[in-house]
C-alpha cells in the first residue's frame, strides 16, 4: 500500500509544536537566572551609594521586602533599601519592651499576671490571670513565642500600667537617638502611632544585643519554664535560628499593616552582622530575605589577613658594611575586617637604613595600611637575624674600598629594598562551608 503524504498543514503543526517545545525548554533553562534578579532596585544602596550610581562590577542582594538594611556591629551600613521611611513594626516593638524592662527591674523580681494581661489576644506566652513569674521568665515568654500577654504583664508590674511603661520606652528611644521611632503600646499590635525605620531598628538591635541576658534569650530555639507549677514549652518564632548556621537572634513580627517583619543576626569568623526586614510579603520570604542579606554581608565584609610574620617585607641596608643587608618581616600577623566596596587597600612600607650592629627582632620600620583615606592598621617591621658591626680591621678595609670605589661611582653600601607593592590585593571571598 503506498505511503500517505503528509499535508502541508499537518507539517506546519509538527514544526509549530517542535518550535514551542524548544522555546519552552530554553525558557526553563534561563528563567531562574533572570528571575533571581527580579527585585534588585536601582535605588538600593551599597555603602551609601545607590546602585544607579555605582560603576564597575557589583552585585546586590535580591530581596522582596520594601524596607531593609544590613549593618556591622559598629553600625556601618553595608546595604540599604529605603531605611529612613517610618513604618509599622509589629512585634519588633518587643525588643524595646525587653530592653526597657532590663533597665528598670531586677531579673528575679516577682511579677503577677493581671486579668487584662492574660486577656490580650494574638501570640501568647500562655499566661493566666493570677499567675506569678520572675521578670526573667516573662522575658522568655515575651521574646521566644512573642507573647503579647507577657508584654503587658511586664509593663503593668514595672510601671503600674501599659501607657506609663510606653513612656519609659519612648524615653529610652530618645536616649538612643531613635529620632524616627515612636511607641504607643508594648507589643506592636495594630496602631498607626507605633512606628520605626530600618535605620533606627538597626541602632536598637545593636544596643539590645550588647545586653548578655537579651542575647541569651533571643538565641534560644526552645525552652521549658515553670509558671505557678505549670510547665510551659516555648519555641522560637525565628526560623532562621534553626535553618542558618551562625544565626544568633533576634525577633519576628507580623500585623496586617506592618506585613511580615524580622530582625536577624548571625556570626561568622568572629564577625556579627544585623539585618532588618520590614514589610515583606509572606512569612517565609522574610527569612529568605534575611538569609540573602546576611550571606551577602559575610561575602563582602569579612576578616582578611594583611600580612603575617612569614612574609618577607624587604631588606634593610647595614650602612657600616659595603654589601650587607638583612631581610625584614612584620613583627606579627595583621588581620582586619574589610568591606569590598570601601575600595582598594594601600600599603605603605617605610624602612630605615641601619648603622652599627642589628639584633633579631629589632624594629627597623613599619607598614601602614589604609582604605578610602582611613588607616586600617599598622605594624612594626623587624630584623630577621643578628649582624655585628665591622671590627677594627674590617672597618679599615671598608674605608679603603670606599675610597677607591668613589673613583668608580660605587655605592658606599647596599640600598634598602621593599618587596611589597603599594596596593594590597584582597583575596577572593571563600563561601562558608
Give the pLDDT confidence score for residue 372 in this predicted structure.
85
Collapsing DSSP to helix, strand or coil, 66 comes out as coil
In a domain, 9, yes or no: no
Give the pLDDT confidence score for residue 406 in this predicted structure.
60
Contact 379, 362 (CB under 8 A): no
Do 265 and 203 share a structural domain? Answer: yes
Do 279 and 136 share a structural domain? Answer: yes
Give the pLDDT confidence score for residue 323 in this predicted structure.
76
Enumerate the active-site residues.
Answer: 91, 94, 146
Domain CATH for 222: 3.40.710.10
Give the pLDDT confidence score for residue 397 in this predicted structure.
60
Whole-number mean pLDDT of the chain?
A: 87
Give the pLDDT confidence score for residue 42 in this predicted structure.
87
**pLDDT tens digit sequence for 53-89:** 988 778 899 999 999 999 999 999 999 999 999 999 9
Confidence of residue 126 (pLDDT cuts 50, 70, 90): very high
Output 429 or 295, whichever has higher pLDDT.
295
Give the pLDDT confidence score for residue 178 in this predicted structure.
98
In a domain, 17, yes or no: no
Q: Helix 162-175 and helix 93-104: axis angle, to 10°? A: 90
Mean pLDDT computed over 96-103: 98
> Is the pLDDT confidence value at 344 over 80?
yes
255, β-bridge pairs = 259
> Is the pLDDT confidence value at 50 over 50?
yes
Do 320 and 289 share a structural domain? Answer: no
C-alpha–C-alpha distance, residues 146 and 254, integer Å: 10
Give the pLDDT confidence score for residue 318 in this predicted structure.
85
**pLDDT tens digit sequence for 410-422:** 665 678 899 999 9
In a domain, 30, yes or no: no
Q: What are phi and psi of 72, to 5 degrees?
A: -90, 175
User: 49: which DSSP letter?
Assistant: E
Give the pLDDT confidence score for residue 213 in this predicted structure.
98
Do 201 and 345 share a structural domain? Answer: no
Model pTM? 0.83
Do 101 and 166 share a structural domain? Answer: yes
Q: Helix 93-104 and helix 198-209: axis angle, to 10°? A: 40
- Cis check: omega of the bond before 250, within 30 degrees of 0: yes
Lowest mean pLDDT among 101-105, 196-200, 364-368, 408-412: 408-412
Do 382 and 285 share a structural domain? Answer: no
Do 284 and 361 share a structural domain? Answer: no
Cell numbers 534561563 label which residue? 30
In a domain, 11, yes or no: no
Angle, vertex CA 191, rays to CA 189 and CA 192, nearest 5: 145
> Is the pLDDT confidence value at 352 over 70?
yes
Give the pLDDT confidence score for residue 26 in this predicted structure.
42
> Is the pLDDT confidence value at 431 over 60?
no
Collapsing DSSP to helix, strand or coil, 76 comes out as coil
Do 278 and 253 share a structural domain? Answer: yes
**DSSP code string of 228-265:** TTEEEEEE-S-THHHHSTTEEEEEEEEETTTEEEEEEE
Do 357 and 241 share a structural domain? Answer: no
Domain span including residue 355? 308-424
In a domain, 176, yes or no: yes
> What cell does 347 get?
600599603
**pLDDT tens digit sequence for 377-391:** 999 999 999 888 876
Burial 299-314 (b: 16+ CB within 10 A, else e): ebbbebebbeeeeebb
> Is the pLDDT confidence value at 253 over 70?
yes
Mean pLDDT computed over 24-28: 42
Do 125 and 239 share a structural domain? Answer: yes
**pLDDT tens digit sequence for 177-209:** 999 999 999 999 988 899 999 999 999 999 999
Q: Which one of 302, 333, 350 terminates a domain?
A: 302
In a domain, 3, yes or no: no
C-alpha–C-alpha distance, residues 40 and 61, integer Å: 7
Q: Which one of 266, 281, 302 terminates a domain?
A: 302
Do 229 and 97 share a structural domain? Answer: yes
In a domain, 249, yes or no: yes
Contact 47, 296 (CB under 8 A): no
Lowest mean pLDDT among 114-123, 354-363, 384-393: 384-393
Q: Which one of 249, 273, 302 terminates a domain?
A: 302
In a domain, 27, yes or no: no
Give the pLDDT confidence score for residue 19 in this predicted structure.
46
What is the domain count for the chain?
2
Do 130 and 101 share a structural domain? Answer: yes
> Is the pLDDT confidence value at 403 over 80?
no
Amino acid at each position: 500500500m503506498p505511503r500517505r503524504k503528509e499535508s502541508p498543514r499537518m507539517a506546519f503543526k509538527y514544526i509549530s509544536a517542535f518550535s514551542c517545545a524548544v522555546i519552552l525548554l530554553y525558557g526553563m533553562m534561563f528563567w531562574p537566572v533572570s528571575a533571581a534578579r527580579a527585585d534588585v532596585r536601582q535605588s538600593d544602596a551599597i555603602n551609601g551609594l545607590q546602585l544607579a550610581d555605582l560603576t564597575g562590577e557589583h552585585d546586590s542582594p535580591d530581596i522582596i521586602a520594601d524596607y531593609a538594611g544590613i549593618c556591622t556591629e559598629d553600625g556601618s551600613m553595608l546595604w540599604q533599601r529605603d531605611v529612613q521611611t517610618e513604618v509599622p513594626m509589629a512585634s519588633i516593638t518587643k525588643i524595646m519592651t525587653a530592653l526597657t524592662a532590663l533597665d528598670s527591674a531586677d531579673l528575679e523580681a516577682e511579677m503577677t499576671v493581671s486579668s487584662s494581661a492574660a486577656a490580650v489576644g494574638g501570640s501568647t506566652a500562655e499566661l493566666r490571670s493570677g499567675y506569678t513569674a520572675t521578670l526573667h521568665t516573662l522575658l522568655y515568654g515575651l521574646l521566644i513565642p512573642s507573647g503579647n500577654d507577657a508584654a503587658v504583664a511586664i509593663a503593668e508590674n514595672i510601671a503600674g500600667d501599659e501607657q506609663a511603661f510606653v513612656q519609659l520606652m519612648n524615653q529610652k528611644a530618645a536616649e538612643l537617638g531613635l529620632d524616627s521611632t515612636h511607641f504607643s503600646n508594648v507589643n506592636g499590635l495594630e496602631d498607626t502611632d507605633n512606628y520605626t525605620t530600618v535605620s533606627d531598628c538597626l541602632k536598637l538591635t545593636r544596643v539590645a544585643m550588647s545586653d548578655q541576658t537579651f542575647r541569651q534569650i533571643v538565641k534560644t530555639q526552645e525552652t521549658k519554664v515553670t509558671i505557678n507549677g505549670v510547665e510551659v514549652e516555648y519555641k522560637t518564632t525565628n526560623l532562621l535560628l534553626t535553618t542558618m548556621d551562625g544565626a544568633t537572634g533576634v525577633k519576628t513580627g507580623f500585623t496586617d499593616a506592618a506585613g511580615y517583619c524580622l530582625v536577624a543576626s548571625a556570626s561568622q569568623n568572629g564577625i556579627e552582622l544585623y539585618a532588618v526586614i520590614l514589610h515583606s510579603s509572606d512569612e517565609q520570604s522574610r527569612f529568605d530575605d534575611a538569609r540573602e542579606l546576611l550571606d551577602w554581608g559575610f561575602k563582602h565584609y569579612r576578616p582578611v589577613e594583611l600580612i603575617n610574620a612569614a612574609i618577607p617585607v624587604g631588606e634593610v641596608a647595614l650602612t657600616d658594611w659595603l654589601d650587607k643587608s638583612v631581610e625584614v618581616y612584620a613583627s606579627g600577623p595583621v588581620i582586619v575586617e574589610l568591606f569590598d566596596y570601601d575600595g582598594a587597600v594601600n600599603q605603605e612600607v617605610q624602612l630605615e637604613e641601619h648603622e652599627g650592629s642589628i639584633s633579631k627582632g629589632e624594629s627597623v620600620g613599619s607598614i601602614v595600611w589604609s582604605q578610602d583615606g582611613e588607616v586600617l592598621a599598622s605594624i612594626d617591621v623587624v630584623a630577621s637575624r643578628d649582624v655585628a658591626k665591622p671590627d677594627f680591621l674590617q672597618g679599615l678595609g671598608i674605608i679603603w674600598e670606599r675610597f677607591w670605589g668613589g673613583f668608580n661611582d660605587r655605592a658606599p653600601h647596599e640600598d634598602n629594598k621593599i618587596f611589597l607593592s603599594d596596593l594590597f590585593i584582597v583575596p577572593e571571598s571563600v563561601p562558608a562551608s
